[in-house]
Chain A
Amino acid sequence: MPRVNTVLGPIPAEELGLVAVHEHIGYGMPGSELDTKWWKTPEQRYDETVPKLRRFHEYGGGTFVDATGICNGRDIDYYQSLSEKTGVHIVASTGFVGGDTALPFFARASVEYLAEHFIHEITVGIGDTGGKAGIIKVGVSRGGRMTDLDKRIYRAAARASKATGVGILTHLAIDAENAIAIFNEEGLPLDRVLFGHVDDGVNADKTRDTWIAEQGGRIGFDTFGYETELPDPPFWARPRKERLDHFLRFISGEGRIKQVLASADANCSPLGWPGVKGHTVNYIFEDLIPDLRAAGLDETAIKTIFVDNPADFLSIKN
């Protein structure tokens, strides 16, 4: 039976339910922990986080995939307590959001070492928490092109994915030719890769989402809710209708609904940045699914996007 690694142990894929496939309990750039302006008490962190997860659960949410990289404030025992207390399954990541979020120890490491580290976190556990990673995070550094370090991380992730059967989740899908070349060289089937942030306001125009889908990759429209209509939008925001139209246009292509995943990339309690007020994982239930229904999607289509596709993607394939 297909199984998925959560922070509290493996669960059957059948139990995942509705999945928010690209979210963050709390994200901070490495080094932000040195700047007291962002510090929060544990009371405050739980206070900001628990009600959002509880609401997610009440709405019918089953699984929260935390896409926070190794050096970005990833905090497994905290996730374990949140999951245990709220009933939301939490899947944690190994890997890095991008080479520019890998600290020097990992930035200097070889592909072989990085792969070994990822495999350890997937098969043995993360630190001494006992929690295992259920996904490998990779990404493109700021600047629009994959750096040498980004490429080493992608290659290590491909090897770890092949060795363990867990999928790869990318931060940004720009420069996808380079990414796909690496995955092909390593012999990794592209349906093990979710190319994320194709809908991001800065990069959407430069992202070859249909081409990636033609190669067999999965496509993540996973910054839903970062909208220019917000009172204080981040620089990667995009007009709400523009993103929705992009999504609808994408899934209108033959068979593409089988390749698409959607999420909100929200922070429950940001760690090294102010976050975006009012934007939570529950955008999926409060805005996105109603918008999709209004656009004519039926319940089967919604189940495909939020339940079946993520279950297939997150299932350990080996």
Chain B
Amino acid sequence: MDAQTAENTVNTVLGPVPAQELGVVAVHEALLSVVPGAEYAFDVTIDRAEIFETLAEKLKDFRGHGGGTIVDSTGMFHGRDVRLYEALSRTTGVHIVASTGQGPEEMLGGYFLTPQTNPPTPWPAEKFADLFTKEVTEGMVVPRVERRGAAGLVVTAATLAGMTATDESLFRGAARAALSTGVPVSIRFGNDAVRDLEVILDEKLPADRVVVGGLDRKDAVAVGAPLEVARRGAYVAIDHVGTEDERHLGDKERVALVAQLVEAGFGERILLSSSATGVAKGHDGNDMPYSYVLSTFAPLLKAQGLSDEDVQRILVDNPRELLSVR
């Protein structure tokens, strides 16, 4: 560890924390996940006390299995509740990193897509950059009330059928916000992981400030995207660990993918997470414990022959480097 690493900090909802203290990090999870608009639905109840209890239980389980830090990768418009996360972090001792950003296009409010101008031109990259940057430098918005805490990363996503023009503005805005603030960018790609990563890199953001999520999707693996993303120098997030469905690899294949990446010399670029949804409103969510990687997947990796050092690097060192504000 060099002197620089020792001084690095990470933005958590309770303020900057020395990067050394993060411990095991789950880099792509959701705490409270609300489909935009669901908060207004007649049959959706938002009981904050109940939500707190559920999340606290899950965070304690994560900590009980050796977890240190949860990254809430839902961005600024999908249920993020900074005040609740502060209380959760204080109560459970788990560090919580909250995110700014939004996307894909379908998830945006009309304010960004059909503004009250003639013609109603969607927001350009520069305006998204400003919106996201301020969530790092001035604090995350509690809509129409206040700003609280600094966002620890910028997240965005492209439309599954392929990146739209507005998605591209979101990606470029996210990259610019990361460049100007020093926090990383986490992207979920549309139909081409490498192409979508290139949009971020085109903004001159160093590749080691970017994590590409969803790389355990079958379509990405089929075209060799995980290796190619690693070759470009970005982080490869295998972030549906535990999910067994049509779209994703199963855990057995995930283990093989991790081993393959380590073998190819990219052990420093791998991240693991489960995309678990602590509490979901307005959608089914992914009811998986945050501890799954630690309790179930890490032993599979070791059984596959990965060393303790390799696993430690993936679960602790890599996310620490990624999340450190530069």
Q: A residues within 8 A CB of B118? A: 202, 235-236
Q: A residues within 8 A CB of B110? A: 29-31, 71, 100-101
In the complex, whether B162 has a CB less than 8 A from a CB of chain A is no
Residue of A nearest to B116 (CB): A273
Q: B residues within 8 A CB of A36? A: 134, 141, 147
Q: A residues within 8 A CB of B119? A: 142
Residue of A nearest to B119 (CB): A142
Contact B117 A235 (CB under 8 A): yes
In the complex, whether A294 has a CB less than 8 A from a CB of chain B is no
Which of B37, B76, B117, B147 touches A103 (beta carbons < 8 Å)?
A: B37
Main secondary structure of the interface of A (DSSP, over half): loop
Binds B, one of A15-23, A120-128, A302-310: A120-128
In the complex, whether A185 has a CB less than 8 A from a CB of chain B is no
A 95-124 to B, binary, CB cutoff 8 A, 1 in contact else 0: 000001111111110000000110011001
Q: A residues within 8 A CB of B144? A: 33, 39-40, 271
CB distance from B114 to the nearest CB of A (A): 5
CB distance from A174 to the nearest CB of B (A): 15
> Beyond the given A30-B110, A105-B36, could you list 20 further A-B residue pairs with CB under 8 A, ordered by the A residue number?
A29-B109, A30-B37, A31-B77, A31-B111, A31-B112, A33-B143, A34-B77, A34-B141, A39-B144, A71-B40, A102-B37, A104-B37, A105-B37, A105-B282, A106-B40, A117-B41, A127-B40, A142-B114, A234-B116, A235-B118
Q: A residues within 8 A CB of B35? A: 103-105, 108
Chain A interface bracket (under 10, 10 to 19, 20 to 34, 35 or more):
35 or more
Contact B37 A34 (CB under 8 A): no
Number of residues of chain B lying within 8 A (CB) of chain A: 32
Q: B residues within 8 A CB of A105? A: 35-38, 40-41, 282
In the complex, whether A32 has a CB less than 8 A from a CB of chain B is yes
List A237-260 residues whose CB lies under 8 Å from chain B. Answer: none
CB distance from B218 to the nearest CB of A (A): 25
Q: In the bound complex, how far is the Cα of B119 from the Cα of A33, in angstroms?
A: 22
List B147-168 residues whose CB lies under 8 Å from chain A. Answer: 147
Residue of A nearest to B34 (CB): A105
List A1-59 residues whose CB lies under 8 Å from chain B. Answer: 28-36, 39-40
Residue of B nearest to A30 (CB): B109
In the complex, whether A314 has a CB less than 8 A from a CB of chain B is no
Number of A-B contacts (CB under 8 A): 92
CB distance from B100 to the nearest CB of A (A): 10
Q: In the bound complex, how far is the Cα of B40 from the Cα of A116, in angstroms?
A: 13
Q: A residues within 8 A CB of B87? A: none
Contact B40 A32 (CB under 8 A): no
Q: A29 with B115: in contact, given A34-B76, A34-B141 (CB under 8 Å)?
A: yes
List B32-49 residues whose CB lies under 8 Å from chain A. Answer: 35-38, 40-43
For the complex of A and B, list the 9 residue pairs with the smallest distance between their C-beta atoms, beginning with the closest: A31-B109, A103-B37, A105-B37, A31-B111, A30-B109, A29-B111, A33-B143, A235-B118, A120-B42
Which of A32, A70, A235 touches B111 (beta carbons < 8 Å)?
A: A32
A residues bordering B, Cβ < 8 Å? 28-36, 39-40, 70-71, 100-108, 116-117, 120-121, 124, 127, 141-142, 202, 234-236, 271-273
B 111-152 to A, binary, CB cutoff 8 A, 1 in contact else 0: 111111111100000000001001000000101100100000
Q: In the bound complex, how far is the Cα of B34 from the Cα of A227, in angstroms?
A: 41
Q: Would you list 14 pairs from A and B whose C-beta atoms are within 8 A, ordered by A residue?
A: A29-B116, A30-B37, A30-B111, A34-B109, A36-B134, A39-B144, A71-B37, A100-B113, A103-B109, A104-B36, A104-B107, A105-B282, A127-B40, A142-B114
Contact B41 A32 (CB under 8 A): no
Residue of A nearest to B108 (CB): A31
CB distance from B141 to the nearest CB of A (A): 6
B residues bordering A, Cβ < 8 Å? 35-38, 40-43, 76-77, 106-120, 131, 134, 141, 143-144, 147, 282
Q: In the bound complex, how far is the Cα of B111 from the Cα of A141, in angstroms?
A: 13
Residue of B nearest to A103 (CB): B37
Q: A142 with B40: in contact, given A30-B109, A105-B35 (CB under 8 Å)?
A: no
Residue of B nearest to A270 (CB): B116
Contact B36 A34 (CB under 8 A): no
Q: In the bound complex, how far is the Cα of B117 from the Cα of A103, in angstroms?
A: 19
Q: A34 with B131: in contact, given A29-B109, A29-B115, A104-B106 (CB under 8 Å)?
A: yes
Q: B residues within 8 A CB of A127? A: 40
CB distance from A107 to the nearest CB of B (A): 8
A101, A102, A106: residue with the most chain B Cβ atoms closer than 10 Å? A106
Q: B residues within 8 A CB of A40? A: 144
Q: A117 with B114: in contact, given A31-B77, A34-B77, A36-B141 (CB under 8 Å)?
A: no
Q: A residues within 8 A CB of B147? A: 36
Q: B residues within 8 A CB of A30? A: 36-37, 109-111
Q: In the bound complex, how far is the Cα of B195 from the Cα of A209, in angstroms?
A: 50
Q: A residues within 8 A CB of B282? A: 105
CB distance from A8 to the nearest CB of B (A): 20
Q: A residues within 8 A CB of B134? A: 36
Q: A32 with B109: in contact, given A105-B282, A116-B42 (CB under 8 Å)?
A: yes
Q: B residues within 8 A CB of A35? A: 111, 131
Q: In the bound complex, how far is the Cα of B36 from the Cα of A32, in angstroms?
A: 13
Q: In the bound complex, how far is the Cα of B113 from the Cα of A103, in angstroms?
A: 11
Residue of B nearest to A116 (CB): B42
Q: B residues within 8 A CB of A271? A: 144
